[in-house]
Amino acid sequence: MRTIGLLSMGVLLLPAGVTTAQGPAESYQPVATMAQLMVDIIHPASNDILLVINRGGPKDDTEWAALRRNAMTLAESGNLLMMRGRVREGDWIKDAKLLVDVGTAAYKAGQAKDANTLAGLTERVDAACVTCHKQYRPNVHPRTP
């Protein structure tokens, strides 16, 4: 009887927890610093994409799989940049979306094994980084008066 009592309590409590104003999405916890996100996740992913393009595109299934992995990493990294605690004022979200968009485009090219479309994304990959850095890394891109 006791076990059943606890069980029914749990059943009653669960929906209450789910419907709080904050919701379960608020339970995430950023781990990486901004610099770690750049150095350990975003830069390696974009670098590998640019390298394989420079070598003429992925040449077998393993390389296409690596390309898709890097492309998805880049795309979802854009979302990581939008998390509370990381997001900043101004154009930040717009800039981070450039990563989501170019990563998604590269992923689609990877699914289609379309090396030409992939090669055409080089400048967009670069622009996704520079656009944000110009605004939010003033030590690297000093504002010219």
Binding residues for ligand HEC (CB under 6 A): 34-35, 38-39, 42-43, 46, 81, 92, 95-96, 99, 125, 128-129, 132-133, 136-137
- 3-state class percentages of the chain: helix first, strand second, coil last, to nearest 5: 70, 0, 30
Minimal distance, residue 4 CB to ligand HEC, in Å = 52
Shortest approach of ligand HEC to residue 91 CB, angstroms? 8
For the chain, what's the residue count? 145
Q: Which is nearer to ligand HEC, 23 or 120 (by Cβ)? A: 120
CA 26 – CA 66 distance, rounded (Å): 31
Q: How far is the CB of 112 from ligand HEC (least distance, A)?
A: 22
Of 99 and 115, CB closest to ligand HEC: 99
